[in-house]
């Protein structure tokens, strides 16, 4: 089914000369490497693709336990957008906590964003402002045990201060994040995941940009998600309604578990927004 959707969308775009630039943003603990299947499908279809490593993630050499503000964490994406020509627009795609990066970019660079796609992502208009924002946008993994049993926790500022980095324990990663994904992909992820700069993410709050409401948004809901649970996704969708919602029967990592369907959805979103 997923391959059929991908082929159908690929045939549609082969009839047009307009090929958008997709910018893919990973979630907490991930990196640009998460998107390798999607990048391959996109580039084989003639799209331009950029995979951003945020501060302390992917191949960025910064110790994530030293990244303490969201401004610093998201700076690689903002620098990338700043470097684009004034008349150049991109499609932003964010996974999980990468949704916070998308929203920040929409507020700051709305004129350079033709479409924002949230994939199983935290979608909060102003960031973490209220208790409900935290309830809706922060993973609740209590079903899998106490916090110390689920996460490896880093205290870069000392044990007397709040944690600076968190990473789901290796023995739980497949069960929580990749339960529907191929074994080889969850094995790869276990080798590459890095602690997420939890202080930086918790500090994510935004000032509304002048043209932010003009950027169309698509939400891709993942129905088998153990990280951002479907009811959390529904709550965020209700609170800040996007242009459209696509539903994907996937775990939290559809770039691994359902890459052809996800690719088809991303192309469909671009077509619906007039980007193709």
Looking at 53, 133, 136, 225, which residue is catalytic? 225
- Structure tokens, 123: 């979608």
Q: Are 265 and 248 in contact (CB under 8 A)?
A: yes
225 noted as active-site residue:
yes
Place of tokens 């709305």: 110
Looking at 95, 107, 226, 252, which residue is catalytic? 252
Looking at 53, 95, 96, 104, which residue is catalytic? 96
Task: Give the DSSP H/E element, type plus range, for residue 165.
Answer: strand 165-168
Cα angle vertex 164, ends 161, 167, to 5°? 135
Q: Which residues share a beta bridge with 22?
A: 49, 91
Cα angle vertex 64, ends 235, 195, to 5°? 60
21 noted as active-site residue:
no
Spatial distance between the Cα atoms of 233 and 35, rounded to a whole number of angstroms: 21
Rg, the chain, Cα only: 18
231, 233, 168: which is closest to 194 by C-alpha? 168
Of the CA atoms within 13 Å of residue 212, those in its CB half-sphere come to: 16
136 noted as active-site residue:
no
- Structure tokens, 160: 């007397």
Q: Which sequence positions are flagged as catalytic?
A: 96, 225, 252
């Amino acid at each position: 089914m997923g391959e059929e959707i991908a082929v159908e969308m690929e045939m549609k775009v082969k009839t047009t000369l307009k090929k958008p630039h997709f910018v893919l943003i990973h979630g907490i603990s991930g990196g640009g490497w998460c998107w390798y299947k999607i990048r391959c499908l996109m580039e084989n279809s003639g799209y331009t693709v950029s995979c951003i490593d945020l501060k302390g993630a992917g191949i960025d050499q910064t110790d994530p336990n030293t990244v303490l503000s969201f401004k610093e964490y998201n700076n690689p994406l903002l620098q990338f957008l700043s470097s684009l020509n004034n008349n150049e627009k991109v499609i932003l795609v964010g996974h999980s906590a990468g949704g916070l990066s998308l929203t920040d970019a929409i507020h700051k660079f709305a004129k350079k964003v033709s479409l924002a796609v949230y994939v199983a992502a935290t979608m909060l208009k102003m960031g973490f402002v209220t208790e409900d924002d935290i309830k809706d946008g922060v993973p609740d993994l209590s079903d899998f045990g106490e916090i110390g049993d689920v996460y490896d926790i880093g205290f870069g500022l000392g044990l007397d201060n709040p944690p600076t980095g968190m990473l789901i324990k290796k023995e739980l990663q497949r069960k929580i994040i990749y339960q529907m994904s191929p074994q080889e992909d969850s094995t790869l992820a276990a080798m590459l995941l890095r602690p997420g700069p939890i202080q930086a993410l918790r500090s994510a709050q935004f000032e509304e940009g002048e043209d932010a409401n003009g950027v169309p948004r698509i939400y891709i809901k993942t129905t088998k998600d153990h990280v951002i649970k479907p009811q959390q996704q529904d709550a965020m969708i209700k609170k800040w309604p996007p242009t459209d919602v696509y539903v994907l029967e996937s775990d939290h990592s559809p770039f691994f578990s359902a890459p052809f369907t996800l690719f088809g959805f991303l192309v469909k979103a671009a077509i619906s927004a007039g980007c193709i």
